[in-house]
């Protein structure tokens, strides 16, 4: 039976998730500005996964500043990134 000699604290997973979330967020905004010409497009798409008001927006309207979508997308991305960081921290010795 193999046991890890060293284990890392949960805070390492949280820190890694936050750091990865920031870099993924920058990449998403860069992708939105290059592909669609607006940084708000990926934010509105992420918020549309749970926010019904964003589903009513057309493709042209997704390129503009969201009303409440930014806060929803920020929370979704932050929680998801930290959760993935925790999973990686728990899986890797």
User: What is the model's pLDDT at position 71?
Assistant: 87
d(CA 77, CA 9): 23
83 Cβ neighbours under 8 A, 6+ residues apart: 17
In this structure, the number of other CB atoms found within 10 A of the CB of residue 82 comes to 18
Residue numbers of the chain with a pLDDT score lower than 50: none
């Amino acid at each position: 039976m193999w046991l890890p000699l060293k284990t890392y604290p949960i805070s390492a997973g949280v820190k890694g998730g936050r750091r990865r979330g920031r870099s993924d967020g920058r990449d998403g905004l860069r992708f939105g500005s290059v592909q669609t010409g607006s940084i708000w497009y990926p934010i509105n798409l992420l918020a549309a996964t749970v926010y019904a008001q964003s589903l009513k927006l057309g493709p042209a309207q997704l390129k503009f500043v969201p009303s409440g979508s930014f806060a929803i997308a920020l929370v979704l991305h932050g929680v998801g990134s930290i959760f993935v960081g925790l999973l990686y921290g728990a899986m890797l010795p």
